[in-house]
Amino acid sequence: MSGHMTGIEHIAAAFAGADKRAALMPYLMGGFPDLDTSRRIGDACIDAGADLLELGIPFSDPLADGPVIQAAGTAALAAGATTDGVLEVCAALAPRAPVVLMTYVNILLARGIERFVDQAARAGAAGLIVPDVPLEESAELRDACDAAGLALVALVAPTTPDDRLARIGALARGFVYTVAVTGTTGERRGGDASELLARVKRSTSVPVALGFGISTPEDAARAAADGADGVIVGSRLVRAAAEAQDPATEVGRLVAELAAGLAAPPAHTDSAAPVG
């Protein structure tokens, strides 16, 4: 993390400073295919234009993950990845870009919420995504994150009713992770997200990022056009990491394509110079 910014401030600066139509946040599974390669994948993402990183901690029962990311988590665990090992990957990447850890509550409970949050903060993490902690049970974790300067990132879905959206939005830290389609993560085409994004934006003052089902530069561009402040891409990149002989190079290539898809259009200039 640069300077003395808190994680929350680091995330805000990344969204505000993104030189694209929306901030680009690739997801990578920590420890997949191994810890060192996952660090190199993270570096490649940043080199290729990522504004933030979402770093998954592998878990044996990942309810929000689709088959590609589940398989990566299983492989990472089989290869010996541990939470401490992924926190070391976080520590290596965090000086270059905000890292938001994606994990599940059992991993936090296993070592104690305050201890986990403290260790994440020491590793330079900017925030946490814990999809199996509902709003009603999030106070202890949010308080611990607030005390450590970490953003506890909330998730909302197309099925989230307006009154609940308002409560989530009021307590949101860092950004709101908006799930574009119901179900688990994966590569599939979602519909027009503009209405959903507009609903979420009305509920909160923090940026709104769209994830789940975004895999191509065209998907990313459409998400930005629909109003997303950030675009999260996971399964497509994890699949590339699984299939490529050189995962870091291939994931970096894909992230560069996604960044190009989000490139801001050239500023309008009046090319008709006055004559005579």
d(CA 2, CA 159): 37
In this structure, are residues 232 and 50 in contact, taking their beta carbons and an 8 Å threshold?
no
Residue of 9, 43, 51, 65 marked catalytic: 65
Could you give the CA distance from residue 227 to residue 21 in angstroms, rounded to a whole number?
Answer: 9
Query: Do you find a cis peptide bond into 274, omega within 30 degrees of 0?
Result: no
Q: How many helices (H) and strands (E) does the chain have?
A: 12, 8
| Catalytic pick among 9, 43, 51, 54 | 54
**DSSP structure string for 71-116:** HHHHHHHHTT--HHHHHHHHHHHTTTS-EEEE--HHHHHHH-HHHH
Q: Is 36 a catalytic residue?
A: no
The secondary element (H helix, E strand) that includes residue 51 is: none
Active site residue 65: yes
Strand pairing category for 151-156 and 23-29: unpaired
Active-site residues, by number, are: 54, 65
